[in-house]
Every structure is written in C-alpha cells, then in structure tokens.
Amino acid sequence: MATIEELRERYEGLELRARVDTEAAIDAACLMVFDYEYAGRDAEVVIDTDEFTAVCPWTGLPDQGTLRISYVPANSCIELKSLKFYLLSYRNVGIVQEHAANRILDDLAACCRPVRMSVFLDYNVRGGLHTAVTAGYEAS
C-alpha cells in the first residue's frame, strides 16, 4: 500500500492538465458567522450544492460532486456568501475525496461551533468509480 507522499512522487513527472494547488490554498479565514437567536432550539440547517470541485492531487483531473452540510447551531450560523467563497477556494486544490470531506467538516465546525454537524460529499462517477464520504462532528 502506497502512502499519499509515495503516490505524489510516482505522478510527479507527469504533465498535468490543470494547475494543482496544495491544501494551503484552502481559505478557511474567509468563513464568517452570525448570531443564532434561538440558541437551545434543536433546529437543523441543511446547505447543499451540486457544484463542489477540487482536483486529484496526482493527476490534476477534476473531481466534482454534490456537497451537503447539515448542522444544529449552538450560538452561531454560517454566513452563506462566505461559505461560497470558502468552497471556491478548493477549485484547484489537489485533495483526495476522503480528506476533502473531513477538512470541510473541521473548518466549518471550528468556525461555528455547532451542537452537531455532518458533511456528505457525493462525487460524480469518474473512471467508472463512485465515491461518497460522510464525516460527522458532535460537540463534547
């Protein structure tokens, strides 16, 4: 079994069709929140988009899919325009699908500190393979 670093080395000499940025290009600093005026109420917020895009870290080929974020706010809610800019920062980032779902969850949970949150990332079929990843968070 190869590590991610070993796979990067194997593909390093290939000509990539797309620019591949590192995860450092992900802009979690742009995320903003606003006060949730109904703290203590178990209301679920669901946000989805069918336009999530990143790239394969080894080949530069696009990975596209549907992203669904579901959370119960504690004291703050995610401001949607800032979320759009955050998600756009993944556009040229080389990140494996399993890591993308967990990175999004970590950044959003750190931003709004929800009661609980889940991120479901359902990628379009590519090369005959379908991948869907669910990551979850619950406040302790």
Angstrom distance (rounded) from CA 78 to CA 76: 7
The one-letter code for the residue type at 22 is T
Give the separation between CA 60 and CA 94, rounded to whole angstroms.
7
Q: Are strands 132-138 and 76-78 parallel, antiparallel or unpaired?
A: unpaired
Task: Write out the H or E segment, with its range, that includes residue 6.
Answer: helix 4-11
Locate 139 and state its tokens: 């406040």
Active site (catalytic) residues: 56, 63
